[in-house]
A and B are shown apart, each in its own frame.
Chain A
């Protein structure tokens, strides 16, 4: 059966890269009430989470073989 950590990991890695990219290249994009660079922090968090899932999936597949 498919290891769900692989597609979810890729999804969050890509999502994280996009949102983090927004945070880096458009740091002044702010909504009316935000004072911080939301894209930067949440993008980084999603990227880390995505990579973590991929790492777990990789370790899981190695221990099975």
Chain B
């Protein structure tokens, strides 16, 4: 694929705008709160789109279209039973405690609710995880641009990281959030024409259904047993593992996304942020997953489109979206499409960097390294951390090129740490009897259970280092079941240990736990500005989508 001068011009225009937004916002920063928390001053439509965009990294776009071709419409479960219910839960039930507690970060909430050790565990693992995930997505982008356009890996990695660094350094979280909105709009502009063109070329949904195996066009019909569908997952693993544990764990406890809602002006806006974000989120499968399935159909039509291959043989699903662009986009819109891909990478990376910043500055530096300094000092630390965070991510991207196995191992370990987390938050927010020792013991037990489950089961040759008690039909099924077991053990152990330890006085838990917190209504708010009616509308639409593609 070759770009015309006009495509480079569009890319350059986009760079000018993101840097310009950062430059315009630079003057607003006078405290560490302005830099790291946006001073709670961002309008709700902006926090909502940023909430979705921070998660819509390049890996998501590339990965979801890849899964579309590989597994079909079942991939949409990541949205329709995964993300959406979790986002609704977060907006309705959890945001009151995050925002109402006045915590500046998710780990800080854990400190207020439980104690220092739970916070430290969460803050350290989260900080390391954000650096690695931004490094890994940088690596994925550099590799793709090299394969597709022949761009030099180092140039594309360092240039795009430098731009993210400049605008987050200048305007902090506000700049990251404002740019995420522009990036989100650009992603939609760059990807939706591709969806329309590729799907209509493949003969619409009917045409696609006639050309691919039926398992690829039904999200629910073949979930009865793991062997009946390409993902190798059965309905319980899907609903409980992906839908409940993993998605709620991600959307409700990951500071990367929670931070966007926390930046809202007031409680009502903070609660509406995830809910309004859920609307565009529901339809993202149409621009990322459906083109992947269309690609599979097109490859069977003899039109000259073939699924991309790896040099060593086998289909390279990660190149599906870019090869489609090459076949469907002429110069001009091709520039928009590739700029959209760059934008998605930047929004994901800026999301990681700004979340890392806050957790490092407030939860690690201010708590354990140098407490009690004047705010000016923490502002400078926040700025310095931006630079360090970007440099560390670049380092992680290069590490990924050399030590792919170490990266796989790290991702696996993060999975173990994350799986039980939602049980801790659920009990912390809704059961006032949960104690600090209970939470910490539960988290550690859950993490160990995850590691142990992986070590004792095998799927596609992965895991089973301590012996094989069970074989899963796919790595995905294994991940879902690890999550289910980790969550359950964390839940049970937290309750058991809590009942054996002394409860905290109710007075100390005000604003942190359900039943001890006043959740103010919104007098004067119209129905569409209130969380519950919004959630009902979203639920109806998402149920219809599930039925439509069942």
Give residues in A with beta carbon < 8 Å to B: 1-2, 4, 7-8, 10-12, 14-15, 18-19, 22-23, 26, 29-36, 38-39, 41-43, 45-46, 49
Contacts and interface: CB of A to CB of B under 8 A. Distances in A.
Contact of A18 (B10, B186, B305): B10
Interface stretch (B20-28, B80-88, B383-391): B20-28
A22 B333 CA distance: 9
A31 B9 contact: no
B13 interface: yes
B178 A15 contact: no
A42 B181 contact: no
A29 B182 contact: no
Given A2-B25, A4-B181, A15-B10, A46 B330 contact: no
A34 B178 contact: no
Contacts, number: 104
Contact of B328 (A18, A38, A45): A38
B193 interface: yes
Interface of B: 6, 9-10, 13-14, 17, 20-21, 24-25, 28, 41-43, 46, 174, 178, 181-182, 185-186, 189, 193, 197, 201, 298, 303-305, 326-334, 336
Given A2-B24, A15-B10, A42 B328 contact: no
Given A15-B336, A38-B197, A39-B333, A1 B328 contact: no
A61 to B, nearest CB: 14
A7 to B, nearest CB: 6
Grouping DSSP codes into helix (H, G, I), strand (E, B) and loop, the A interface class, with mixed when no group exceeds half, is helix
Contacts of B6: 18, 22
B333 A32 contact: no
A43 B330 CA distance: 12
B193 A38 contact: yes
Nearest to B45: A4
Nearest to B20: A7
Given A1-B41, A19-B333, A42-B336, A8 B193 contact: no
Nearest to A35: B201
22 contacts: A1-B42, A7-B17, A11-B13, A11-B14, A14-B13, A15-B336, A22-B6, A26-B330, A31-B326, A31-B327, A32-B305, A32-B327, A33-B201, A34-B197, A36-B197, A38-B330, A38-B332, A38-B333, A39-B330, A42-B189, A42-B193, A42-B333
